[in-house]
């Protein structure tokens, strides 16, 4: 598999954005709009903050799963994936990738809260810019780790996938900002 072709593994991530955007915009599933960290603090700062909610985790993971199931019905797409993923099946693939997607969000949120960077904000320091860049493609590491039971990504595939996913995430963020779903571009 070519390095760039591995990025197809992460296409179902788009399902997380497509599922989450209307939920945020219409404020759906309010009972699940509770912070994952339950308001807990570490060193005087919130662990993840109010923006990481059970609603977001469940909706985003479900969006990835549904996208994987739908994309698997398209033979051209399914043929692009590594044989190990195809052998595991769309349900296992989508579930693992969905879990990896939401878990990948947490370390970055934790770091930003500990550095006193507000949700959606960025610092103009080198570290702040690195964190903003990382935030655009962290799904790749989370997805790669979650997919380990069925597929091992090479470091070259991971780098190529990170570039593609980060660019796509940035584009989606710009559209989300334009539609009023996001308060900031990054």
| Domain boundaries, given as residue ranges, for the chain | 4-179
Give CA–CA dist 120/24, Å, rounded. Answer: 15
Q: How does pLDDT run across 149-161, given as a tens digit for each residue?
A: 999 999 999 999 8
Residues above pLDDT 70, as percent of the chain: 94
User: What are the E-state strand segments in the chain?
Assistant: 41-42, 45-46
* Spatial separation of the C-alpha atoms in residues 166 and 2, rounded to whole Å: 19
pLDDT value, residue 181? 66
Q: Rounded CA gap, 133 and 113, in Å?
A: 16
> pTM for the complete prediction?
0.87
Separate counts of helices (H) and strands (E) for the chain: 7, 2
Whole-number pLDDT of residue 119: 74
Which of the two residues, 147 and 140, has the higher pLDDT score?
147
Structure confidence at residue 173 as a pLDDT band (50, 70, 90) = confident
Question: Mean pLDDT across the chain, nearest whole number?
Answer: 89
The total of other beta-carbon atoms located within 10 Å of residue 35's CB is: 17
Q: Which two tokens stand for residue 86?
A: 């195809």
**3: confidence class by pLDDT, cuts 50, 70, 90:** low
Distance between CA atoms of 50 and 184, rounded to whole angstroms?
16
Q: Which neighbouring-strand residues pair with 53?
A: 35
Binned at pLDDT 50, 70 and 90, residue 168 comes out as confident
* Cα–Cα distances in angstroms (integers) from residue 42 to residues 31, 37, 53, 115, 137, in the given order: 25, 10, 18, 11, 25
For 33-90, write each residue's pLDDT tens digit: 999 999 999 999 999 999 999 999 999 999 999 999 999 999 999 999 999 999 999 9
Report the pLDDT value the prediction gives residue 136, as an integer from 0 to 100: 74
């Amino acid at each position: 598999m070519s390095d760039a072709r591995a990025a197809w593994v992460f296409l179902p991530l788009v399902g997380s954005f497509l599922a989450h955007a209307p939920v945020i915009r219409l404020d759906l599933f309010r009972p699940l709009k509770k912070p994952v960290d339950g308001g807990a603090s570490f060193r005087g700062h919130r662990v993840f903050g109010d923006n990481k909610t059970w609603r977001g985790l469940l909706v985003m993971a479900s969006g990835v799963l549904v996208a994987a199931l739908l994309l698997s019905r398209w033979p051209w797409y399914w043929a692009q994936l590594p044989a190990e993923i195809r052998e595991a099946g769309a349900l296992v693939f989508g579930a693992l990738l969905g879990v990896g997607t939401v878990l990948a969000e947490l370390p970055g949120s934790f770091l930003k809260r500990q550095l006193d960077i507000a949700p959606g904000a960025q610092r103009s320091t080198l570290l702040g810019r690195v964190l903003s860049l990382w935030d655009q493609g962290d799904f790749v590491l989370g997805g790669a780790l979650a997919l380990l039971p069925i597929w091992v990504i090479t470091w070259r595939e991971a780098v190529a996938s990170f570039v593609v996913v980060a660019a796509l995430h940035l584009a989606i963020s710009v559209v989300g900002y334009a539609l009023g779903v996001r308060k900031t571009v990054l």
